[in-house]
Amino acid sequence: MGDRPSFLELLDLEYIEEDIYRSCVTFAEPHALFGGQVAAQALYAAGKTVEPGRLPHSLHGYFLRSGDTQRPTLFRVERDRDGGSFSARRVVAIQNGQVIFNMAASFARPRVIDEPLLDRDAGPVLPGSLPPAESLPAGGHPRHPSFEFRMADAGRRLPDQFWIRCTDRLPALEDDPLLHAAVLAYISDISSGLRLLEQPGHLSSSSIDHAVWFHRQARMSEWIWQDLRPQTVAGGRGWYTGAFYTQDGTRVASVAQEALFRTAPPE
């Protein structure tokens, strides 16, 4: 137990036996274990059980209990299916004998060179419409020391549009695309799109369920633009969607999340 670990240290999972991995990195913090960390680790553990080259194209997870930063986390992978094109996995993250997070993830085989596949976006970002990262003030967050932020309004409690990149010395995308996908899974839970629906005494709180679709590979050591949009609040829950873009406006992933939305300020 010690200082907050780097992102690469978080992905240094110990192999226990087939389909079982453990994160032994622990540290003291007044907050619950960050959900994006558990999702990234679960995805990385699942990816270790598929054949080389099959990369995640979607994950769907539920945050069931608060995790403890001072406890190791065990990840148990279930191999649901390995087909000709897709591999399906389920993962449960366990602390103190209880499941804190479960996830279903799907992995797809590499694209065949001579296979014609359509690559289009219904809502492309126009060139020059995103603010250059270098034009915005640099910033960081004490809970996420491996990441640098650039946002126009650094005073927002939950920024919904900002640049982010990993400052760890990541391996090249070509050498470990699964790791870069795990970085994206981590940052997909780093903020919220519900800020615009908040009112005095009515604030968004803990994540409940989370989904990410990986459309294209992305180098996570380069700037990624997060654009999170509120959708609706009802029944004590808020739901938002979002998209992730590279600097040239290419959409690399999409996200949807539901979070608690309570009448009392969250802890």
| Catalytic machinery residues | 189, 207, 257
Closest CA to 64 of 34, 101, 103, 31: 101
Phi, psi dihedrals of residue 115, rounded to the nearest 5°: -95, 115
- Residues 250, 149, 209, 207: what is their CA dihedral angle, to the nearest 10 degrees? -160
CA angle 172, 45, 17 (to 5 degrees): 125
> What DSSP string describes 126-185?
PTT-SPPGGGS-EE--TT-TTEEEE-S-TT-SS-SEEEEEE-S-PPPTTT-HHHHHHHHH
Q: Could you give the 3-state DSSP secondary structure of residue 216?
A: coil
Q: List CB contacts of 21: < 8 A, sequence separation 6 or more.
A: 13, 14, 15, 45, 48, 74, 75, 77
